[in-house]
Amino acid sequence: MVLSALLMTLLAHHLFNLSALYRWLQNQRLGNVPVGTGAWEYVFSHIRRMLKRHEQNEVRLNEALSRFQQAGAALPDAVVILGEGDRIEWCNPKAEEYFGLENKRDRGQQITYILRQPQFVAHLAAGQVGESLVLRVSRERDEIVLSVQLVPFGDRQKLLLGRDITRWERLETTRRDFVANVSHELRTPLTVVGGFLETLGDMKEPDPEMTQRSIMLMAQQTSRMVRLVEDLLTLSRLESTQNPLREEDVNIPELVKALHQDAIALSAGRHKLRVSVESNDWLKGNTEELRSAFGNLISNAVRYTPDKGEVEIRWENRDGHPVFAVRDTGIGIEPQHIDRLTERFYRVDRSRSRETGGTGLGLAIVKHVLNRHQARLDVQSSLGSGSTFAVIFPETRRLPPKAAALTPVQEPAISR
């Protein structure tokens, strides 16, 4: 009797705890694990510990996952994880941007369904891992150039990496064009000099008149090469990051007057030259660089203005902005050329530039000097009636005139 009462109590105890366990199984949360009684107390506390560990692991995994996603988003390159059958498993935002993917939408999709360029499909099929491929993809407005690479990892998985090399490719093209241009510019004068030297060397009895003429022409070609090399050196100095702008207080009115004298010498009476210094302001900048930029503009005005034309040099103030301008009544420029004038070796009329001793680098030098002074170049021109090149400085570069000290003016800035 007592035994059966005891058994009943034990059964009731287990049933009670079992039903608590059953209820908890319906809603498994750490907070509501039953306390339990007797041996069940031990079982429930074990469950509670397991759950706690599980929850902590989950938090840690979530943190790791979100760190991974953050790192993926911060990567400057595109990354796509390709699984079996080259299906997309995951991609970062740069991959969405470069390849036109969408992480959620395209998961499970074969990469070749989206990246269909035949070179890429062949590259992938050939399993050319490690080697990079250059792909051109069109984005909304322009085209970008990507360097794409496949890296195998894990079990039959691959990383597809993409790097934007558009800027690098452009620089590379500019560099190649530049070397080709310089070589081309040097080849003509060198051929001329070489030809004369050969003729002179072959002459049994030198003809003094012919010799004299050859020497004169060789000297002309040599000074053309010297000018070119000097302009190239100036450009490279201006472009060098190791050569920051050395600022000083520049007496522009004085500089303009000196440049006017140089222009008189260059024009040699062929043009009507005027100078108009309407402002006494000085400028915060570099004297030599400004002399070179202004000198180039004046030299161009003289060189591209036929005899009897006019050239006017101005220093003035426009709404607080210091402005240096050169106006000429020369040949003028058609509008489609204006934006390209400051490119290296860009010439509207190649032969006229050469005849007048141009290197095609003058305005490129001007552009660099102006950039270093945060100034801009405004070109107004009409074909056949002349041009105005104005340099507009920021107000912050304006300095009130100083009393005595004059900026020393050395060699003429205009040498051609």
Q: Which residues are at the interface with ligand ADP (CB under 6 A)?
A: 296, 300-301, 304, 328, 330-331, 333, 341, 346-349, 353, 358-364, 387
Helix count and strand count (H, E) for the chain: 12, 13
Crossing angle of helices 362-372 and 287-303, in 10° steps, is 150
Nearer to ligand ADP among residue 55 and residue 339 (C-beta): 339
Nearer to ligand ADP among residue 48 and residue 337 (C-beta): 337
Residue 399 near residue 282 (C-beta atoms within 8 A): yes
Nearer to ligand ADP among residue 339 and residue 349 (C-beta): 349
Amino acid (one-letter) located at 100: G
> What minimum distance in Å lies between the beta carbon of 348 and ligand ADP?
3
Q: How far apart are CA 287 and CA 246, in angstroms?
A: 9
Which stretches within 203-274 are classed as H helix?
208-239, 252-267
Instruction: Order across the sheet with 398-399: list the strands.
Output: 248-250, 282-285, 398-399
Residue 192 near residue 110 (C-beta atoms within 8 A): no
> What minimum distance in Å lies between the beta carbon of 167 and ligand ADP?
25
Nearer to ligand ADP among residue 107 and residue 347 (C-beta): 347
Nearer to ligand ADP among residue 41 and residue 349 (C-beta): 349
> What minimum distance in Å lies between the beta carbon of 333 and ligand ADP?
5
Nearer to ligand ADP among residue 17 and residue 296 (C-beta): 296
Q: How far apart are CA 289 and CA 375, in angstroms?
A: 13
Q: How far apart are CA 98 and CA 78, in angstroms?
A: 7
Residue 375 near residue 391 (C-beta atoms within 8 A): yes
